Amino acid sequence: MRPPRRILIGAASYADARAALRLARQLAVTLQAEVRGLLVEEAILSDLPRLARQRVVTASGALHDVPTARQAARMIEHDAKAFQSGLAELSATARPLERRRGDLTVAMWEDAREWDVVVYGLREFHGLGGRIVLIAPAAGTARDAADLAEDLAWAAGTTAIALGLATCSDTGADETFPDAAALLARISRLNCAAVVLDRAAGPIRSVDQLRALLAAAHCPVVLVGQPTGAVALPE
């Protein structure tokens, strides 16, 4: 595999970015890559209904009031600085953090074409390390993704497990599932440290499919390869 040299780390907050930065640290060392960060302020959060009992649930299980616009703005500024510092620690050649407002999933999907590896930052729900999950290709081979999953597993002192669709043949999957929903359901209950897949090899080929994966993963998601035309997944 030609070592990828460009890594994009995207997150909607520093809490999410931190998990991705840890992962990217290993990637940058292994691949001697150029790193860039993208902080996307999720627009949906400022457009939510004003419910009387709406709260923010913290990772420790506390219920806090929803921040005001000003408070939210300060928080995102703080996150941006922290994210930038994290990038600088990661690589001397890290480019300045890019900031946007919108939908992280869409923004990353669109920018993915320019980058060799794209890491979606998603915070973990607990401190118990898990396995590296490789989503086996829908067709053909995905050596880059498989090699990357093995590298990440070795660096984290864990193992890699390949999950695939039963409809896809010869993918080398450890577990197969009848459809995407079953596969995503399995991922949602697995203790994962990261999910790795090849955009070109599939089976995730659309933003919606990616969004579903992100909702199920509870950990950073790593995409390698360039996306091709969308391939519908059997539902």
- Cβ closer to another protein: 190 or 233? 190
52 touches another protein by CB under 8 A: yes
Q: Could you say whether residue 12 binds another protein (CB under 8 A)?
A: yes
| Neighbouring C-beta atoms of residue 99, cutoff 10 Å | 16
Report in angstroms how near the CB of residue 127 gets to another protein at its nearest.
5
> CA torsion, points 127, 198, 103, 129, in degrees to nearest 10?
0
Residue 178: asked if its preceding bond is cis (omega within 30°), the reply is no
57 binds another protein (CB under 8 A): yes
Based on the shown chain and the rule CB under 8 A, indicate whether residue 190 belongs to the binding site for another protein. Answer: yes
Q: What phi and psi, each to the nearest 5 degrees, are found at residue 204? A: -85, 115
What is the nearest approach in angstroms of another protein to the Cβ of residue 50?
7
Of residues 138-157, which lie at the interface with another protein (CB under 8 A)?
157
> Which one, 90 or 122, has the nearer CB to another protein?
122
Q: What are phi and psi of 74, to 5 degrees?
A: -65, -40
With CB under 8 A as the contact rule, the residue among 4, 7, 23, 79 that binds another protein is 79
Candidate list 18, 36, 123, 199; residue touching another protein; CB under 8 A:
123
Residue 161 host element (H or E): strand 160-165
Pairing assessment for the beta strands 221-224 and 117-120 based on DSSP bridges: antiparallel
